[in-house]
Amino acid sequence: MSTVLAALTDASIVAKRNVIKIKRVPEVMVFVVLSPIMFVLLFAYVFGSSIDVGGGDSGYREFLIAGIFAQTVLFGATFTGAGIADDMQKGIIDRFRSLPMSRSAVLAGRTASDVIYNAVSVAIMALTGLLVGWRIRGSIVDAVLGFALLLLFAYAFSWVMAYVALLVPSVEVINNASFMVIFPMTFIANTFVPAENLPTVLRHIAEWNPISAVTQASRELFGNVPPGTAEPTAWPLANPEIYTLMWALGIIAVFVPLSVRRYKRAAGQR
């Protein structure tokens, strides 16, 4: 038990260090603030008039926000990979390794601090969404569950990015690779258009895409499913909360031990 408490204490110190880093690198927070605002305004006003999901002028905006949430927290998870790669390049990981601290604390602290970044980003998006006509139609409890599910999924994905960063400790490669993978994942989904509007092959991919599930779960919990929308026939979209939890817990179960093992090996090679 004392070992677990010590690891948690070490992880909290690393997380605090990453949050304090915002003061020294304020452009990180600028990105966290401006990026979600830009996406909400861009899709709501540029593309919103071209996509009809029912519900009048505000229908697409309410449909949109859950997708923007999902896309933004997923991109927010890439902070983990970029941060770890940057620390590897600057030799900070070597300094951590020389300290009497838990080997898992660096990764746990890094992923935990990025939950804070994502929470700030989601809060800003929610405020921006309210300004463009988005409303939470469900209960407060359901809304909290919706936000929690988004942050859990982002937290799980941050462990994937941690593992990738330890394999390829280059900030440039991490940023380019994550964009090439995440961007199509968030568009071949029901994030910005209903999945049934996609061509047959892409529709099947979208229906089983975990991004679609977390988006669908958020829409349902926020009460933003367009009126008259047919019940999904694909199992993941008919059970989006369960499917999202399966993915999140599965990713954590696989990539936490992989990342910790890779961290020990990567640190020992430097």
pLDDT, mean over the chain: 84
pLDDT of residue 1: 46
The kind and range of the H/E element at 219 are helix 210-222
Which residue from 133, 149, 140 is spatially nearest to 55, judged by alpha carbons? 133
Q: Are 255 and 81 in contact (CB under 8 A)?
A: no
Q: Are 111 and 155 in contact (CB under 8 A)?
A: yes
pLDDT less than 70: residues of the chain:
1-4, 6, 22-32, 48-50, 52-58, 266-270
Burial string for 231-263 (b: 16+ CB within 10 Å, else e) reads: ebebebbebbbebbbebbeebbeebbebbbebb
Specify the pTM.
Answer: 0.88
Cβ atoms within 10 Å of 90's Cβ, excluding its own? 10
**Measured CA angle at 86 (ends 183, 185), to 5 deg:** 10
pLDDT of residue 84: 84
What's the rounded Cα separation, in Å, for the pair 163 and 11? 17
- State both tokens at 257: 């031990």
Which residue from 124, 119, 106 is spatially nearest to 18, judged by alpha carbons? 106
Q: pLDDT digit string (tens) for 103-127? A: 778 888 888 888 888 888 888 888 8
What's the rounded Cα separation, in Å, for the pair 155 and 163? 13
Q: pLDDT digit string (tens) for 157-185? A: 999 999 998 888 788 888 888 888 888 99
Q: What is the rounded end-to-end Cα distance, in angstroms, of the chain?
A: 31
